[in-house]
Structure 1
Amino acid sequence: MRFLHPDGTTVHLGYCSNVHQAEDLQGVIAQLAEYAEPVRERLGAGRLGIGLWLARPVVTELADDEAALGRLKSELRARGLETVTLNAFPYTGFHREVVKKDVYLPDWADEARLKYTLDCARVLAALLPDDVGHGSVSTLPLAWRTPWTPACAEEARHALERLTTGLAALEAWTGRRIRVGFEPEPGCVVETTTQAVRELGGLDPDRLGICLDACHLAVQFEQPGEALRRLADAGMPVVKLQASCAVEAADPADPAARAALHRLAEPRFLHQTRTAADGEVLGVDDLPDALDGGLPADGGPWRVHFHAPLHSRPEPPLRTTADQLDQVFAGLLGGASADCDHIEVETYTWSVLPEPPADLPGGIAAELAWARDRLTGLGLKEDPS
């Protein structure tokens, strides 16, 4: 879906396809018919954005085979879908039985990460609608924090220089600008916007910036207004917003809250958990660690990196950080100018909810409707086409 900001900027809203299990081109095309087109129809929208996650084998095929790329573009167009952003954080195997920390491999000290990201940029430049001049690709915040040596940091810095050069060459060749956004995440080398400024400052803002995940921001107990000002003051653009909510337990000592949290402690994805007391953020790498005593239960609320559906509440007495997401929307789009034009609803956890939905397209459509209402409430006008 497209919206017009009062300053004239076209703002794109879509959802991320990493919620779907498909790691070959046939599977990617099938999910467009099975899920994305029905979501568009449920919304009554003439056009729906889909932020594609394309596993390494799919990107390789698309980058090497012009006919395959044309087929995907034709399928998107035929189903009323458009792609202006790719999620290039997971490399492959995102729906294995156990993913956990493997999602951070390869990292930015590995040549494979650079090659994959540039291939994603090439594919996206070809998939962009004819009337769209730029796209975005989101990626991991360098690496998981361990092991990360000075030598790794140096390799990553060289890789980012080559990434910038490669993106500039792609724009010169295609006329399409692709920007890459690094996504701060709890437990990684870059967890917070403060670390983003320190570790990623000085990069070319025309090519590289931040992918701001609102769930991650909330888990780290960052205040949205302060975080956005910090990035703006450092000249670091938010090239993409991942509209997402974390799960919060206001009283983690409450037996009902602990029982509900136990039902979220599933084996596939990593659910980093944080609490804040006396101005200090304490954390563990996974929810079971917190439940086993790794975090104090009497010092303040727990926030869990579990992407909760935007439009609904989790099992009581748990709640979500939707109010934080509202503040992010307002900070980026509620002012005189649009400070981000790519928004991706990224709830990839539907399949690991205690009660997975029988109607996934209906759930995704409800999330997008929730986000649409927030945007129009800020004065943006929906493009009905």
Structure 2
Amino acid sequence: MTRLCYCTNVHPAEDVAGILGQLDSHAVPVRERLGYDRLGLGLWLAAGAAAELAADPAALRRLRAELDARGLSVLTLNAFPYGGFHQRVVKHTVYRPDWTDPARARYTADCAHVLAGLLPDDADSGSLSTLPLGWRTPWPPAADRAAQSALRWTATELRKASARAGRPLRLAVEPEPGCVLETVADAVRWLAPRVDPEVIGICLDTAHLAVSFADPEQAVTTIERAGLAVVKIQASAALHVDDPRDPRARRLLAEYAEPRYLHQVRELSGQGRVLAADDLPEALDGLPGRGPWRVHFHIPLHAEPQAPLRSTTEVLRRAVAAVRDRTVVEVETYTWQVLPQGSDLVDGIAAELTWAQRELLDGGRSV
């Protein structure tokens, strides 16, 4: 069964008390508004909270009881941001520590052991997503060796956590533009000869997939033919503009050039080449604009941006349809606070989940 949840990295809290406060303010009202008995979460834990819970089984049991009392189920963990995901400027810091730093492996292992204690009884497996090794520069050959070693150690911890949970827990590597593993093809080439596919697979973030101008069906086929699995899908949509030289399009794009997060841009040239800029201001100043752009800015799934901008939700639909093995679909719009037009967060999350059920899960109530 495909199970639907929303990612709590949209909330700024980084300790357990703060997380519960945010869930009381947002997740519980969303569940009530949708009329669900239980609401699925893709939980984000900063490193300090993950370490505290992993080291204290009693605290972990208390958190599980608090979630149960609120009608909330943790279906997956987002272990990509280490911390500080809502500080004034995030940009490249979200990729640190990378997989060459032992702190990244320790954090991921802590998250796995926490997931073992939080996963609902009726879940047949669990997942946690992570960054695609790190930002692409600097990345010398020694970094590959260090990352491979760290992932091998983490896989051992995942097996221990799986044994404790009584079902498999798998790590999902999330390709992202600008990173060492920028595309699905990059991730498959790097992972397939190096990891145990029973433990480590792919997180298919559909905004990242769209920005890379990848074909969704071909991307899923590439993963499956390599013997890897789509461990989880992050349901997200990027910005698309057909003519980046259109003055109105440029004015609207400039409204999305905000200072907190990195918004990578890719342009598809007439020759089929993909041109790159690491952030939206750089693209507005430097890309030629003779072909369409895709911008890594997570757009609410249910809400089209102002024309001539549009959303890449069609990529999302096709990607979900192409994944034959049912998995967790995690709605991951973390950008609500930096959108040009504000919105009530409870209203927005509820509307996204309603859209995702209707458009991605054939109207079925999977939570």
TM-score by length of 1: 0.92
Give the whole-Å Cα distance in 2 for the aligned partners of 1:107 and 1:36: 30
Report the Cα offset of residue 134 of structure 1: 1.6
Report the Cα offset of residue 383 of structure 1: 5.2
For 1:82, the equivalent position in structure 2 comes to: 73
Q: Kindly report the root-mean-square deviation, in angstroms, between the aligned alpha carbons of the 2 structures.
A: 1.2
- Identify which range, 178-187 or 42-51, moves more after superposition: 42-51
1:168-192 Cα shifts (integer Å, max 9, x gaps): 2222344232100000000000011
Is residue 358–residue 364 contact of structure 2 (8 Å, CA) maintained in 1?
A: no
For 1:367, the equivalent position in structure 2 comes to: 352
Name the amino acid aligned to 2:13. A
SS at match of 2:2: strand
Is residue 54–residue 60 contact of structure 2 (8 Å, CA) maintained in 1?
A: yes
Report the Cα offset of residue 240 of structure 1: 0.4
For 1:283, the equivalent position in structure 2 comes to: 276
Q: Are positions 1:54 and 2:45 aligned together?
A: yes
Give the whole-Å Cα distance in 1 for the aligned partners of 2:326 and 2:124: 15
Q: How does 1:19-168 map to 2 (within 5 A)?
A: 19-168=10-159
Name the amino acid aligned to 1:285. D
Q: How does 1:230-245 map to 2 (within 5 A)?
A: 230-245=222-237
Name the amino acid aligned to 2:133. L
SS at match of 1:225: helix
Is residue 235–residue 316 contact of structure 2 (8 Å, CA) maintained in 1?
A: yes
Runs of at least 5 residues in structure 1 that lack an aligned partner in the other structure: 1-9, 333-337
Which of the numbers 325, 330, 343 marks the counterpart of 1:344? 330
Going from structure 1 to structure 2, the CA distance change for 1:133 and 1:362 (only over 3 Å counts) comes to: same
Is residue 238–residue 295 contact of structure 2 (8 Å, CA) maintained in 1?
A: yes
Is residue 240–residue 340 contact of structure 1 (8 Å, CA) maintained in 2?
A: no
Report the Cα offset of residue 31 of structure 1: 1.1
Q: How does 1:292-331 map to 2 (within 5 A)?
A: 292=285, 294-298=286-290, 300-331=291-322
SS at match of 1:315: coil
Q: How does 1:185-264 map to 2 (within 5 A)?
A: 185-202=176-193, 203-264=195-256
1:254-279 Cα shifts (integer Å, max 9, x gaps): 11100000000000000000011111
Identity score, percent: 56
Which of the numbers 244, 264, 274 marks the counterpart of 2:266? 274
Report the Cα offset of residue 17 of structure 1: 0.2
Is residue 241–residue 340 contact of structure 1 (8 Å, CA) maintained in 2?
A: no
SS at match of 2:238: strand
Give the whole-Å Cα distance in 1 for the aligned partners of 2:55 and 2:275: 46
Give the whole-Å Cα distance in 2 for the aligned partners of 1:173 and 1:85: 16
Going from structure 1 to structure 2, the CA distance change for 1:376 and 1:285 (only over 3 Å counts) comes to: closer
SS at match of 1:382: coil
Name the amino acid aligned to 1:339. D
SS at match of 1:303: strand
TM-score by length of 2: 0.97
Name the amino acid aligned to 2:347. G
Name the amino acid aligned to 2:244. P
Give the whole-Å Cα distance in 2 for the aligned partners of 1:370 and 1:143: 32
Give the whole-Å Cα distance in 2 for the aligned partners of 1:12 and 1:376: 9
Is residue 4–residue 366 contact of structure 2 (8 Å, CA) maintained in 1?
A: no
